[in-house]
Every structure is written in structure tokens, then in C-alpha cells.
Amino acid sequence: MPLFPSLTEESGVLSCLVHFRRDVAGPLIELHERILRGQSVLTPLQRELIGAFVSAVNRCDYSTAIRISVARGLGANDQLCEQLLSPLADNVDELNIEPEMKPLLWYVRKLTLRPETLQRADVEAVLSAGWDEQVLMDTVLVCCLYNFMDRLSSGIGLTKPETINPSNLEVLVRRGYRSILDDL
């Protein structure tokens, strides 16, 4: 049950924003579109997986479930999705993900939990895996976005949804976040 008395079990982040801060909903969705679907060497699937990983590290069941559903819709393998929903998210090396993604996940894990401990060696690990600084910046933006979203959904007390509307998920997977703006 959400923490806010005026919300229901069916409430989600978007409905809460529309209810309380409609002026913020559009810009936030546009930010999702730019970060998760905009131009990047990282595919939309890779960015969704990074977002799911951040939410898993934050223990935000609401955001993790949604990110995993979107990632599955984009073609993520079931084993990795199940791992992200389990305590294995704490050990990047155990995840069934491409080896070149692991330094990015280690970086966002550290940025999420202990940002003050980031060092040049963490950047070098990403660069040594074949990524460039632009990819690292794109990764940092996904990490920042989902740390924000996790705090938002946790702050209003949203819990893991029992189901995710398949038609909403299909629209999100096929048309991206900007399509949500059409419904506001």
C-alpha cells in the first residue's frame, strides 16, 4: 500500500506525478526518452538493463520490476532478468551478461552505493573493456535517472506491481517513452 493516503494499490509513478505535479510529468518523461532511447552507442536494451541493475542495487522492487519487464520486451534473456530480481545483483561477476557490460555495472553500483569511492581506476576499467567516455557518460545518466526514480517511487511507497499492463508495456517497448506523453 502506498504511503500517501490518497493513493491506491494501482497508483504508479506517472499517475502520482499527474496527480500531484503534472508540470513535472512531461519533462521527466522527456528525460527518460532522451536518456533511454536517444542517440547512444549503448542500445536501448543495454540502457534498460543498467536501469534495472541500479534499481536492483537500490532494492526498489517497483522500479526493478518495471525495468525488467521493459528489458524482456526488448529481448533480454530470462536468466539475467531473474538474476537481477535476486540477491545476485550484488555480484556483477555472477550475472549472465556480456563481459564488456560488467565494468559499466560495477561503475554504476559504486556510483549508487558509494560515489565518494569512485577513482580513475574505475574509469580505466570501463575504457579497457572497449567503451569510450561518451558511453560512460550515457551510463552515468542512466544511473542518475534511476537513482532519482527509485527515490521517488520509494518515497511515495510504491510496491512491486502484481502485473504490468501488457498493452502499456508494448507501447513503451515499440514506441519509447515519448509515447507516454500522448496520454497526458
| Residue ranges of domains in the chain | 13-176
Q: With 0-12 CB in 10 A as exposed, 13-18 as middle and 19+ as buried, what is 140?
A: middle
Cell of 118: 569512485
pLDDT on residue 88: 64
**pTM here?**
0.93
pLDDT on residue 1: 75
- The answer to whether 140 and 105 are in contact (CB under 8 A) is no
Per run of 10 residues, the mean pLDDT along the chain (length 184 residues) is 87 89 93 96 97 95 92 93 80 91 97 97 98 98 98 93 76 83 70
Instruction: Give how far Cα 139 sits from Cα of 18, 110, 181, Å.
Output: 28, 12, 24
Q: What is the CATH number of domain 13-176?
A: 1.20.1290.10
pLDDT on residue 160: 85
pLDDT on residue 184: 66
